[in-house]
Chains A and B, each alone.
Chain A
Amino acid sequence: MSLSPVEGVALAEIESGTGEPATKGVVGRSPGQLAWLRLRRDRTAMLSGSLLVFFMLLGLAAPLIEMVYGIGPREQFQNLLDGFGMPLGYAGGVTGEHWFGLEPGLGRDIFIRLIYGLRTSLFIAFAAALITATIGVVLGALAGYLGGWLDAVINWITDLTLAMPFLIIALALTPTLTLRFYGERGQVSSAFGVGVLIAVFAVFGWTSTARLVRGQVIALREREFVEAARASGAGLGHMLFRQLLPNIWAPILVSFSLAVPQFITSEAALSFIGVGLSDETPSFGRMIYRSLDFLQTDPAYVFFPGIMIFALVFAFNLFGDALRDALDPKSSR
């Protein structure tokens, strides 16, 4: 099972869309400025972009929202549940006090848990995307530029990572690491669980970026300006960061923007097989996983987390799509 976020399709799309990096500026505008202009003009991009900013603000302001809302993510309202532990009232216990109703069983407030879940999930996704992008870029650029045995070794490691049982490691890693860091009795902080998840994603998620960057670098390697720089005796660092990377940042950015929603859904998928955060830490994955069982008996409980995660991922995908169009005027639309 591969966890690479933009494995496959997206990767090929990015590669195909940017055969010719945006280098032909006209009236003294940099390619970046041009892309920004195009993005500004795209209504979809602006809409999905502002939705994303809104979501991020919600996540950042979670403690503030908790203060205003007056209910914490771990507070239980079991007195508002019936004898089967189902919320009383309409639509899963929606009231003026509990905007999105209550969880069956423990009676925790769904709204505030979603806000905190948003915070957790966004943090995990962004951190994982950043780390995997960094690893991928460095390894890919090295392999592509230096070639030879280093290329062979990095390629082999990529293959191995793809063939490794991601699940086994995720399942094995969490308890083993917890024991190592907290002993048998320590209170495990939420940050630790989050950290382990990010680490798992980092180990398995970098392969596609590495392949993408490697391909791009190989294409650039033989170009005149690169050869010129090499001939004038530039060092490895200069070659990679000054000559090559500035020319391929566009596909990397697109791959990053598509990786974030992938990690959001991966966190949810992992909860589904019992890997991931503990019940104490609110997260989208855990919520959606628990709620699905109640599809028949408490649909509202499925609806709120379901629609929220869909909206978030959809906004990311729309934005990523628009970003690609903006960065590469030649492609599709």
Chain B
Amino acid sequence: MARFLIKRLFSATLTLFAVSVLTFLMFFALPRDPVTGMCPKNCNPERLERVRDDLGLNDPLVSQYAGYMKGIVTGRDLGSAQGGRCDAPCLGWSYVSNEAVSDTIARVLPVTLSIVIPAAILWLLLGVGLGMVSALRRGTWLDRAAIGFSLTGASLQLYFVGAVLLLVFVYNLRLLPVPSYTSLFDNPAKWASGLVLAWVALAFLFSAIYARLSRAQMLETLSEDFVRTARAKGLAKPTVYGRHALRAAITPVVTIAGLDVGGALGGTVITETTFGIQGLGRTAVDAVRSGDLPTIMATVLIAAVFVVLANVLVDLLYAAIDPRVRLR
């Protein structure tokens, strides 16, 4: 177990390192000079060159990269134009929004968490529930309705569903406010009402797929020997289905859910754009568009951390749920 963890963590660190290097190189391949955006109307080449110097954009790539990484670990001095001393973990100073990138992240990360976590709970409950019901009521109209629902959901796109939901519930019926983010701790009601459409849209599309998956898993498990044995031993239906079959069937669901949630936490660009909410995903895209290197690095790294962590967690959970799995 310990050996497994160490191995996984080592590989995860290596992955993050590779992601950071590749992102850094990618930025310098962008045909975009971040500096020119900083002086809007009357710029001259000498001034631009001085700004480049100040930002360190003329330094060799390796030392720029090392500087950024050092900032994350030990903090660093960014110079008076960029807010001076920046404590560890220093993610740099945004060229565009003129603030410490850690402030940007502190603002947008809760938004993405608030979208993804409730949506994930919703889609898991709905999806697994539907899948179970249709597996147990196999062949009935309920089963067919669930299949139809799941195939429809899998064929629709978020931007389409989102736009229609907005039109109907916000602009026409006016049942809900225009989506926006309020902190859960400031006003839970407003938090929920502002994000509920995003949850519903995400949950609809995702639960559709989870329903298919858990239905197939459940059917497979139900036909297995240990379930038949349990029934034959005279155990009650709910005990068999709830404790034995569900447990076996849910393992792959957990795997997928972990990876999906990990990916989504890195930013739900389409959701955020459709509902006009500024989370991690939109921030990352904006940063690429405007060539804001420190923000690009920070958002990409955070997204990668989520994905990598989700991978490790899924492996651990797998072992916890399914006693047949041993970690090596």
Whether chain A touches chain B in the assembled complex (some CB pair under 8 Å): yes
From 268 to 315 in chain A, residues with beta carbon under 8 angstroms from any chain B beta carbon are: 268-269, 272-274, 288-289, 292, 295-296, 302, 306, 309-310, 313-314
Q: How large is the interface on A (under 10, 10 to 19, 20 to 34, 35 or more residues)?
A: 35 or more
A-contact bits for B267-299, CB 8 A (1 contact / 0 none): 101100100000001001100110000001001
Q: In the docked arrangement, what's the CA distance between A289 and B163, Å?
A: 11
> What are the 9 A-B residue pairs with the smallest beta carbon separation, nearest first?
A314-B155, A163-B304, A8-B256, A12-B252, A9-B209, A313-B155, A165-B300, A163-B307, A9-B213
Q: Which of A13, A169, A292, A296 contacts B160 (CB 8 A)?
A: A292
Taking CB atoms and an 8 Å cut-off, the chain A residues in 141-156 that contact chain B are 156
A80 at the interface (CB under 8 A from B): no
Are A159 and B155 in contact, CB atoms less than 8 angstroms apart?
Answer: no
Instruction: Find residues 146-184 in chain B having any chain A CB closer than 8 Å to their own CB.
Output: 151-152, 154-160, 163-164, 167, 171
> Hey, which bits of chain B sit against chain A, CB under 8 A?
11-12, 14-16, 18-19, 22-23, 26-27, 29-31, 151-152, 154-160, 163-164, 167, 171, 209-210, 212-213, 215-217, 219-220, 252-253, 255-256, 259-260, 263, 266-267, 269-270, 273, 281, 284-285, 288-289, 296, 299-300, 303-304, 307-308, 311
Interface contact B216-A17, CB-CB below 8 Å = yes
Which A residues are CB-close (under 8 A) to B256? Answer: 8-9, 11-12
Specify which of B157, B171, B219, B253 lies most central, judged by the most chain A CB atoms within 10 Å of its CB: B157
- What is the count of residue pairs linking A and B with beta-carbon distances less than 8 angstroms? 145
The residue in chain A whose Cβ has the minimal distance to the Cβ of B215 is A332
Among B151, B163, B300, B308, which residue has its beta carbon within 8 angstroms of that of A292? Answer: B163
Cβ contacts under 8 Å, B285 to chain A: 167, 171, 273-274
Complex formed: what's the CA distance from A179 to B30 in Å? Answer: 11
> Shortest beta-carbon distance, A181 to chain B, in Å?
13
| Chain B residues whose C-beta falls within 8 Å of the C-beta of A272 in the assembled complex | 159, 270, 273
- Whether A9 lies near B212 (C-beta < 8 A) is yes
What A residues does B267 contact at CB under 8 A? 1
Contact with B along A170-204 (1 / 0, CB 8 A): 01100110010000000000000000000000000
Contact across chains for A12 and B255 when beta carbons are under 8 A apart: yes
Residues of chain A at the chain B interface (Cβ within 8 Å): 1-2, 7-13, 15-17, 156, 159-160, 162-165, 167-169, 171-172, 175-176, 179, 261, 265, 268-269, 272-274, 288-289, 292, 295-296, 302, 306, 309-310, 313-314, 316-318, 321, 331-332
Smallest beta-carbon distance A55→chain B, Å: 14
Q: Are A168 and B284 in contact (CB under 8 A)?
A: yes
**Chain B neighbourhood of A9, CB < 8 A:** 209-210, 212-213, 256
B260 closest partner in A (C-beta) = A8
Name the residue among A9, A296, A318, A332 with the largest chain B CB count within 10 angstroms: A9
List residues of chain B with CB within 8 A of the CB of A176: 29-31
A317 contacts B263, C-beta separation under 8 Å: no
Which residue of the partner chain, among B220, B255, B270, contacts A273 with CB atoms under 8 Å?
B270
Query: Could you say which of A2, A171, A179, A331 contacts B288, with CB atoms under 8 Å apart?
Result: A171
